[in-house]
Amino acid sequence: MNITRRNLTIGGIGLFAGSSMSTIGRAELGSFLGVGEGIEDFALATDAYVYGYPLVTMEMTRRVFTNVSQLEAMRGPMGQVVKARQYPDASYRDVTAPNADTLYTTSFFDVGKEPMVLSIPDMKDRYYLMPMLDGWTNVFQVPGKRTTGTGAQTYAITGPGWKGALPSGVKELKSPTSMVWLLGRIYCTGTSEDYAAVHKLQDECKLVPLSSYGKPYTAPSNTIDPSIDMKTAVREQVNRMDAAAYFTLLCKLMKDNPPAAADAPQLAKFAKIGIVPGQDFDAGKLKADFLKRVPEVSNDRIMLQFKVNKSISDENGFAYTAKGGVYGTDYLLRALITAIGLGCNRPQDAIYPTSQKDAERQKYSGANKYVMHFAKGQLPPVRGFWSLTMYNADYFFVNNPLNRYSISARQNLKSNPDGSTDLYIQKDSPGKDKESNWLPAPSGNFILMARLYWPTESSPSIINGSWKIPPVKKVA
């Protein structure tokens, strides 16, 4: 890792937050940051920012996602099931790192006052999963082909503290928070025939309040809030928030979305700077003169996790974790996944190796041509499916002449004479005879993300390290 003043600053904060520093070290770092004697509170504030990043991001995502009067292509009012009818295109900005392999069947809903009942139809052996995220981005339940099979199923999602009786045949899934994000994915090849088949399954997915289960139900109308920014990407909106507004929102959200019991030691520290679960933010306890530096340094700490977090493996230029979806007290990992892959699944359902640099550790550029080579029999070992997706530097899709945002077996990949497979990653076509294996790139920098859905857990497996993703090499 290149040592810079920026990395030293972030590293100093991380060291101070995680262990002790000498009085001289504290003074020097405080002077360097321009916070004087407030370095202890500044360190706590960056910790609190990182801790709350998932909950704040989930809320901002929910606002944008649900601020419509009726169901749209990728948005819908609270409690209504959004059924994506085709893959997102390069204009999509609601969620970072979207996928072009499954059709989202998704909804934000609130179970603080009443449970919601989800009915899933017979999926006819099709691969699907219906992960449910709490407000802190933990996947607390995941019905799907891997876990519960493909037969018809009905669940009542209940909120914190709910107690009551459920109708026969309805299984309870308890959410730790009032906010729930159902982020269902149904595999689709993208052909017109398969789109139609998946659309039928989507239409049979139902979500209703418990009090309306088994009765005729019409979703209530929704009023649009004109103050919500519907154009700026959610991550950018969150990162632009000043610290006072950020912590005010965090404290408000924690009232209905309680932290986990394991977070108590961390939260006890935050009381000093006015952050207490169940209470409004007390801005008077946090120095105003350094608040403007908190988001900047905190976001740098989050993105630095790619290089320093021990839960992230680095194989041949691809970084990934086998600890996504359920984070425990690894708040920095949780924040990183929120920033670059909100909605991440549990590792048993999907692993997302992500690469920002080629085999020579140089940033990817559309000015170059690259090849990813899989030896015979070494394509990703999965029971679901795999793909490789192209993103620009901000983790969004890239416009290209094929409207192809990911490449996978559904492109009918051509093998080499020896049985190996090459993927061509470049801006211009590699030639008509190779276009089935072409992943189009932009003219500038880009990022690659592989998706391994339902990866095998016995060898060869990316989970136990017995299968390694190959490098992406620049063509001379």
Q: Give the CATH number, domain containing residue 145.
A: 2.60.40.1610
Residue range 260-288: mean pLDDT, rounded: 95
Task: Clarify whether residues 137 and 271 are in a common domain.
Answer: no
Residue 24 scores a pLDDT above 50: no
Q: Provide the pLDDT for residue 405.
A: 95
> Is 198 among the domain residues?
yes
Question: What are the b/e assignments for 23-42, b being 16+ CB within 10 Å?
Answer: eeebeebbeebebeebbbbb
> Is 225 among the domain residues?
no
Residue-wise pLDDT for 136-159, tens only, equals 999 999 999 999 999 999 999 999
Q: How many CA atoms lie within 13 A of 216 on its CB side?
A: 0
Percent of the chain as helix, strand, coil, to the nearest 5: 30, 20, 45
Our count of domains for the chain comes to: 3
> Is 302 among the domain residues?
yes
Q: Provide the pLDDT for residue 307.
A: 82
Final residue of a domain: which of 263, 287, 307? 307
Q: Provide the pLDDT for residue 1.
A: 38
Mind giving me the DSSP string for 204-231? T-EEEEGGGTTS---PPP----TTS-SS
Q: How many CA atoms lie within 13 A of 425 on its CB side?
A: 31
> Is 278 among the domain residues?
yes
Task: Clarify whether residues 458 and 329 are in a common domain.
Answer: yes
> Is 45 among the domain residues?
yes
Final residue of a domain: which of 290, 307, 324? 307
Residue 37 scores a pLDDT above 80: no
Assign residue 399 the CATH number of its domain.
2.60.120.600
Assign residue 291 the CATH number of its domain.
1.10.3360
Residue-wise pLDDT for 352-371, tens only, equals 999 999 999 999 999 999 99
Residue range 260-281: mean pLDDT, rounded: 97
> Is 73 among the domain residues?
yes
Residue 441 scores a pLDDT above 60: yes
Task: Clarify whether residues 295 and 331 are in a common domain.
Answer: no
Task: Clarify whether residues 194 and 333 are in a common domain.
Answer: no
Could you tell me which of 323, 300, 299 has the C-alpha nearest to residue 313? 323
Q: Provide the pLDDT for residue 34.
A: 55
Query: Rounded to whole angstroms, what are the CA distances from 460 to 207, 381, 467?
Result: 39, 7, 5
Task: Clarify whether residues 320 and 455 are in a common domain.
Answer: yes
CB 439 within 8 A of CB 423: yes
Task: Clarify whether residues 287 and 349 are in a common domain.
Answer: no
- Model confidence at 291, pLDDT cuts 50, 70, 90, reads confident
Task: Clarify whether residues 25 and 82 are in a common domain.
Answer: no
Name the E strands within 5-48: none
Task: Clarify whether residues 242 and 364 are in a common domain.
Answer: no
Q: What span, in angstroms and rounded, lies between the C-alpha atoms of 132 and 102?
A: 16
Final residue of a domain: which of 144, 178, 212? 212
Residue range 303-321: mean pLDDT, rounded: 91
Residue-wise pLDDT for 227-245, tens only, equals 999 999 899 999 999 999 9
Of the given ranges (13-17, 167-171, 344-348, 380-384), which has the lowest mean pLDDT? 13-17
Q: What amino acid occupies position 111? A: V
> Is 151 among the domain residues?
yes
Residue 99 structural domain: 68-212
Task: Clarify whether residues 413 and 462 are in a common domain.
Answer: yes
Residue 22 scores a pLDDT above 50: no
Sheet holding 472-474, edge to edge: 438-440, 421-426, 370-374, 472-474
User: Helix or strand or coil: residue 451?
Assistant: strand
Q: Provide the pLDDT for residue 20.
A: 39
Task: Clarify whether residues 201 and 347 are in a common domain.
Answer: no
> Is 223 among the domain residues?
no
Task: Clarify whether residues 208 and 248 are in a common domain.
Answer: no
**Among all chains, which residue has been given the structure tokens 């839960």?**
311
Residue 264 DSSP label: H
Residue-wise pLDDT for 86-139, tens only, equals 988 898 887 778 888 999 999 999 999 999 999 999 999 999 999 999 999 999
Residue 396 DSSP label: -
- Model confidence at 39, pLDDT cuts 50, 70, 90, reads confident
pTM value surpassing 0.85: yes
Task: Clarify whether residues 324 and 457 are in a common domain.
Answer: yes
Query: Rounded to whole angstroms, what are the CA distances from 331 to 47, 51, 53, 78, 307?
Result: 9, 6, 9, 28, 16
